[in-house]
């Protein structure tokens, strides 16, 4: 926790304690404590309350047989915890550098505290360090993704809404994710619900369209009309992966490994001649995209630099086999 935030908690500690200790007026009393007690394992040797504050969770766990020590970075909140009429053990410490010996705890609990942690990775590593083999880390609270990405079917989707809600085991949060493919003339993407161990994925679009068109826009960046045989196979593979709930496939792993955001193969017809085109692309910012295309039988390829001014207005510069500068306005109607 940063020093200004630590001072703020100390300054507001007395007011917070009065608020937190007033029964039956917030979600801790009406929902959180009961849900936590349902999912927490039976008491073991030692339970560590991460970000224990003035001690209300520690006191609740103690009444259910847990031997609890609370860790909080605020000296005032820690003092309030150990001077309560039903005092519990507590110590001042940073959650990213816990003053607890390695492999001494059977359970670590973080209840609405991780949102105030600057070094979240460090806090989780420390929780894992203090747990005995077979120990459990339980978390209550939510994490929101800011400017995150979701990799699916060879595309790096932008996360418009990403909420992970933890109530109990840290390895299985509830998911509420909406991610869209950027720089298209329609809004299309995936909604992920369920839990991390049992996710449920569905496609969506604005405006609404058939599922095959949603998948085509998501995977190929265009409508399904006129899709060639190679692209049809790619869509079928993506559809099967979506239905079976598979994770990232070979295309996803390949694009990630070589630092690209998109890689595709399609067929282009010119009269009686069909040519196979390989396309590579990289989203270098929210509005800028650079791509390279080359036919397998061609001697040169084409570079494209695309700037999206607005949802339906794009500037595209192309150099290589063909040189051009285009201003593209897209109008869609049913």
Set out the domains of the chain in order of their start, with CATH numbers: 3-142 (3.40.50.150), 149-329 (no CATH)
In the prediction, which pLDDT does 51 show?
A: 93
Tell me if 300 sits within 8 A of 294, measured CB to CB.
yes
To 10 degrees, the CA torsion angle through 224, 226, 228, 233? 20
In the prediction, which pLDDT does 296 show?
A: 58
Q: What percent of the chain has pLDDT over 90?
A: 30
C-alpha separations of 140 from 56, 91, 276 in Å? 14, 21, 52
Burial of 117 per CB tally in 10 Å (0-12, 13-18, 19+) = buried
pLDDT tens sequence across 266-280: 666 666 666 667 778
Is a pLDDT exceeding 70 seen at residue 17?
Answer: yes
Q: Give the whole-angstrom CA distance, residue 235 versus residue 132.
A: 47
In the prediction, which pLDDT does 243 show?
A: 44
Q: Give the whole-angstrom CA distance, residue 282 versus residue 294.
A: 15
In the prediction, which pLDDT does 240 show?
A: 47
Q: Give the whole-angstrom CA distance, residue 184 versus residue 222.
A: 8
pLDDT tens sequence across 107-147: 999 888 888 888 889 999 999 999 999 888 887 778 888 88
For 64-72, what is the mean pLDDT? Answer: 95
pTM above 0.75, yes or no: no
Is a pLDDT exceeding 50 seen at residue 250?
Answer: no
In the prediction, which pLDDT does 180 show?
A: 93
Is a pLDDT exceeding 90 seen at residue 259?
Answer: no
């Amino acid at each position: 926790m940063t020093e200004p935030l630590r001072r703020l908690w100390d300054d507001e500690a007395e007011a917070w304690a009065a608020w937190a200790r007033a029964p039956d007026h917030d979600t801790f009393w009406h929902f959180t404590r009961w849900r936590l007690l349902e999912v927490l394992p039976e008491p073991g040797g030692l339970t560590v309350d991460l970000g224990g504050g003035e001690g209300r969770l520690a006191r609740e766990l103690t009444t259910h047989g847990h031997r609890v020590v609370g860790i909080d970075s605020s000296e005032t909140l820690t003092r309030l915890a150990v001077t309560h009429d039903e005092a519990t053990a507590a110590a001042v410490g940073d959650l990213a550098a816990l003053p607890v010996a390695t492999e001494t705890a059977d359970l670590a609990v973080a209840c609405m505290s991780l949102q105030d942690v600057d070094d979240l990775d460090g806090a989780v590593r420390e929780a894992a360090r203090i747990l005995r083999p077979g120990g459990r880390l339980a978390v209550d609270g939510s994490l929101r993704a800011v400017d995150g990405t979701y990799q699916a079917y060879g595309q790096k989707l932008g996360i418009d809404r990403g909420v992970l809600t933890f109530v109990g085991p840290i390895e299985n949060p509830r998911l509420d994710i909406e991610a869209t493919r950027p720089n298209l003339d329609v809004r299309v993407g995936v909604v992920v619900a369920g839990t991390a161990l049992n996710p449920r994925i569905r496609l969506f679009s604005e405006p609404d369209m058939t599922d095959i068109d949603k998948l085509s826009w998501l995977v190929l960046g265009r409508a399904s009309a006129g899709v060639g045989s190679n692209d049809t196979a790619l869509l079928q593979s993506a559809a099967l992966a979506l239905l079976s709930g598979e994770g990232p496939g070979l295309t996803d792993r390949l694009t990630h490994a070589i630092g690209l955001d998109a890689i595709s193969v399609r067929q282009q017809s010119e009269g009686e001649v069909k040519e196979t085109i390989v396309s590579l692309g990289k989203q270098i910012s929210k509005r800028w995209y650079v791509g390279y295309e080359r036919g397998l039988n061609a001697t040169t390829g084409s570079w494209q630099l695309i700037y999206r001014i607005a949802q339906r207005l794009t500037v595209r510069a192309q150099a290589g086999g063909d040189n051009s500068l285009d201003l593209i306005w897209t109008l869609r109607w049913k």
